[in-house]
A and B are shown apart, each in its own frame.
Chain A
């Protein structure tokens, strides 16, 4: 039996912007394989920054990030470290609030871009898998459309498929539904739910309280770069211990 080891282990992460703006203040986070963690908190509390520190889109000022056995300590600059960062990024899929699909590529081309360019896969093989993914997110008929011809929800589903094409071990969602019209939120959340049920390890920053309540294994509340309270959805939503949590929940629910 494989021993249950943390897929992501983040220790004492600090992030300081512009030498004075302390956004993350010594954050610890451990996520096990197959676990779905939802991070909620007021805007500006550091949720997105934490997520972006995991795949080094944001360089942590101090601390250690370990993803599936690849460990990086903040502050270094050696060549080997660059390779490690790419190593982590290959294992980590990320979905952005603004989708960030490549506008000069069709949906299919967007999806095969990672496998072909980064993993050096054969195009034919990549297309086969991309078509499976397109079907999985329900967009087979949009295969050859450019992003500008897709709705926000469709774009985000293509973006999810693009991440999944890399066969990542972890998916990071950075407010994936915040830029969507209300009627389009459901289709994206539904894909995320299926992903969680299929056993993907997920960390999501989201305001979708249904997703947090129904799908998350653990809900973590952040404020000013610190964890306020963490626990199961039931504990957080129905029996919050901290006053700050109660206030925050009252505000958003």
Chain B
């Protein structure tokens, strides 16, 4: 009875309740303050460490533009590979859920094979082994393939990363689709929707909300894994940093610099993720 009047506020909130509410508010504010302070302290401590270590900031600043130029490759490789991965993930997930035995086995084999082999081996496979396959095919009488299968470093890197992440994301998308309650499918079907319409209009938009956090995880990992294209001699971020660091024996400066650049890129991506999540959750009670 008392709780009800409190909630409805007819009799007004009594003084002692107001006091408790104020205490809760103060506790929250205190927590926020402490959070900001400890975060700033952390940054301060890290910067101080760098200064104590005697980092050559001038040197870092001098080479910053050169290193940043490599960021173009990183962004190019990562963004195209992400696009390819998303595409493969949706197709792969539909294949994994398909009742067609051919599609289903292809998707299952894809996920198993790619997830079961190191990305490093896959990168070399696209770059070094594919031309050899082209050669063998050529010898079998299929002309013109060798040139097609001899990929420059950047496309090989994009394909390797895209195909690899597509396999991991296939499982994420599949799990997302399967997490949607059967009642949603039934309601869509009862309206007369086809399988495709049900997937497109009802299941996928809801699955998207579930898979955005894990997919963002993959995006962030991909940004960093794009440094693998340096193995093929592409002058991207980390490659440049390591080269310069070694040449002048100032690896610490260069590595810290490149790490910071990666960090900023990933932090920006995380911001975008949060925005998308807020939008996706518009029908959700929690917001």
Contact residues of A with B, CB < 8 Å?
A: 55, 57, 86, 89-90, 92-94, 96, 98, 100-106, 113-114, 117-118, 146-149, 159, 162-163, 166
Number of A-B contacts (CB under 8 A): 69
CA of A103 to CA of B181, assembled, Å = 11
Partner of B206, one of A89, A96, A103, A117: A103
Give A131 to B193 CA distance when docked, in angstroms: 22
If A113-B201, A146-B282 touch, does A104 touch B192 (CB 8 Å cutoff)? no
Taking a contact as CB atoms under 8 Å apart, the answer to whether B283 and A147 are in contact is: yes
- With A104-B283, A148-B285 already in contact, the answer to whether A166 and B187 are too (CB < 8 A) is no
Q: Could you list 14 examples of A-B contacts with CB < 8 Å?
A: A55-B189, A57-B190, A89-B189, A93-B190, A96-B187, A100-B181, A101-B187, A103-B283, A104-B209, A104-B282, A148-B284, A148-B285, A162-B191, A163-B191
Interface residue B252 (Cβ < 8 Å from any Cβ of A):
no
The answer to the question of B144 belonging to the interface, with a C-beta cut-off of 8 Å to chain A, is no
Determine if A89 and B283 form an interchain contact, defined as CB atoms under 8 angstroms apart.
no
Q: Are A90 and B192 in contact (CB under 8 A)?
A: yes
Please measure, in the bound complex, the distance between the C-alpha atom of A57 and the C-alpha atom of B193, giving whole angstroms.
Answer: 12
Question: Which of B190, B206, B285 is packed against the most chain A CB atoms within 10 Å?
Answer: B190
Nearest to A97 among chain B residues (CB) is B183
Candidate in A92, A96, A118, A166 with the most chain B CB atoms within 10 angstroms: A118
Closest 6 CB pairs of A and B: A100-B187, A148-B285, A100-B183, A146-B283, A90-B192, A114-B191
CB neighbours of B98 from chain A (8 A): none
Task: Give chain A residues whose Cβ lies under 8 Å from the Cβ of B205.
Answer: 104
Residue of A at shortest CB range from B209?
Answer: A104
Query: B residues within 8 Å of A by Cβ?
Result: 181, 183-184, 186-194, 197, 201-202, 205-206, 209, 282-285
Smallest CB–CB gap between A168 and chain B, Å? 9
Given A57-B189, A162-B191, A117 and B201 touching (CB < 8 A)?
Answer: yes
Bound state CA distance, A166 and B285, in angstroms?
28
Closest to A146 in B: B283
In the complex, what distance in Å separates the CA atom of A162 from the CA atom of B202?
14
Instruction: Given A98-B183, A104-B209, answer yes or no on A114-B192 (Cβ-Cβ < 8 Å).
Output: yes
Q: Which residues of B contact A93 (CB under 8 A)?
A: 190
Q: Which residues of A contact B191 (CB under 8 A)?
A: 89-90, 113-114, 117-118, 162-163, 166
B192 and A89: CB pair below 8 A?
yes
Residues of A contacting B190 with CB < 8 Å?
Answer: 55, 57, 89, 92-94, 96, 163
Contact for A118 among B181, B193, B209, B284, CB less than 8 A: B193
B276 nearest CB across to chain A (Å): 14
The interface residues of chain A lying within 8 Å CB-to-CB of B282 are: 104, 146
Q: In the complex, A102→B188 CA distance in Å?
A: 9
Q: How far, in angstroms, from A160 to B27 measured CA to CA in the complex?
A: 47
Q: A100-B183, A117-B201 are in contact. Are A86 and B285 (CB under 8 A)?
A: no
Shortest distance in angstroms between B35's beta carbon and chain A's nearest beta carbon? 30
Min Cβ gap A18→B in Å is 17
